[in-house]
Amino acid sequence: MDFSTVNELLAGSVGGAAQVLVGQPLDTIKTRAQVAPRGMFKGPMDILAQTIRKEGFFALYKGMASPLIGIAGVNSLLFAAYGLSKRAISPFPQLSLKEIAAAGAMAGAVNAILASPVEMFKVRMQGQYGSATDKRLREVAREMWSQWGIRKGIMRGYWITVAREIPAYAGFYTAFEFSKRKFTAIYGDQLPVWALLSSGATGGIAYWLACYPLDVVKSRVQLRDTPPTGTPVQYIARELRNIVVESGWTGLFRGLSPSLLRSIPAAASTFAAYELTREYLKEFTGV
């Protein structure tokens, strides 16, 4: 493994930690909007108010342990896979936006390997509402392992995570690179921090717009008491149909507004932390 890949792994870890710390409260609101029983909440602001009133402010950080523990691996894998995908697609450093989209899609598919269990634990923690029967993360992990094993328990929702990550990261990296290149044309290679933040936020918004209905399906599948049946195509199609029957077409976008709000600070901090760390490591290692 060369130094450039090591730099991407380390910078990805720093960027991932920044993303979790900044974005977790709105992620909790998003997940609860997707999976809560119909009529339990009136909307995102009601979720926020009820969560704080009934469970306390730090309930907004439920499920943070899973992504915070796993985010180093997840984001390291994502950024390293993206770097390797770019080099596999073209030997030239400046890729076209179509090539960027292809590299992002490839990185997203690889990223799902670690993102799937991290997301599953996070969703199951966020889907608890402060009752006496709420479980700790280790209890959730033990339960999923003992009852369902790896494929149907720990990796539940893997294929829907793959289906989500491919368009999500194609959109994410394309929007980020497009925005970054526009700023570079104005300010040169040494971009101000606010330009990196803006580019990251643009990428984050594109991420959710590219994949959101699939994210709703993923959350529902991962929270359910029993694993899905049938092939991935069958259970994804069945879940999409169930959502439409229950809530109409708008049900496919429940929780989108907090997701978009979360994407602005979360993705901005991710990419700013990643780019700044990578630049520091580049100067330190010379690669």
Give the separation between CA 80 and CA 134, rounded to whole angstroms: 36
Pick the more confident residue, 262 or 98: 98
19-26 mean pLDDT:
86
**Residue 286: pLDDT above 90?**
no
Helix (H) and strand (E) counts in the chain: 9, 0
> What pLDDT is recorded for position 268?
72
Token pair in block for residue 33: 């909007």
**pLDDT above 70: percentage of residues in the chain:** 98
Give the separation between CA 105 and CA 221, rounded to whole angstroms: 22
53-61 mean pLDDT:
92
The pLDDT-based confidence of 72 (bands split at 50, 70, 90) is low
Give the separation between CA 82 and CA 62, rounded to whole angstroms: 29
> What pLDDT is recorded for position 19?
81
**Residue 211: pLDDT above 60?**
yes
> What pLDDT is recorded for position 75?
74
Alpha helices in 36-64 (DSSP H): 44-55
- In this structure, are residues 82 and 104 in contact, taking their beta carbons and an 8 Å threshold? yes
Give the separation between CA 104 and CA 98, rounded to whole angstroms: 10
> What pLDDT is recorded for position 287?
62
> What pLDDT is recorded for position 280?
83
Which residues, 6 or more positions from 168, have their beta carbon under 8 angstroms from its beta carbon? 108, 207, 208, 210, 211
Return the residue matching tokens 């993206």. 82
- 129, 110, 12: which is closest to 62 by C-alpha? 129
> What pLDDT is recorded for position 266?
80
**Range in 3-17, 45-59, 113-127 the model is least confident about:** 3-17
Pick the more confident residue, 255 or 19: 255
Pick the more confident residue, 22 or 180: 180
Q: What is the pLDDT of residues 160-193, one digit of tens each?
A: 999 999 999 999 999 999 999 999 999 998 888 8
Q: What is the pLDDT of residues 82-119, one digit of tens each?
A: 989 999 999 888 899 999 999 999 999 999 999 999 99
246-255 mean pLDDT:
93
- 29, 126, 114: which is closest to 75 by C-alpha? 114
When the pLDDT of each residue in the chain is averaged and rounded to a whole number, the result is: 89
Q: Count CA atoms within 13 Å of residue 20 on its CB side.
A: 22
> What pLDDT is recorded for position 65?
82
Residue 39 CB burial class (10 angstroms; 0-12, 13-18, ≥19): exposed
What are the structural domains, with CATH classification, of the chain? 3-285 (1.50.40.10)
Coil, helix or strand at residue 68:
helix
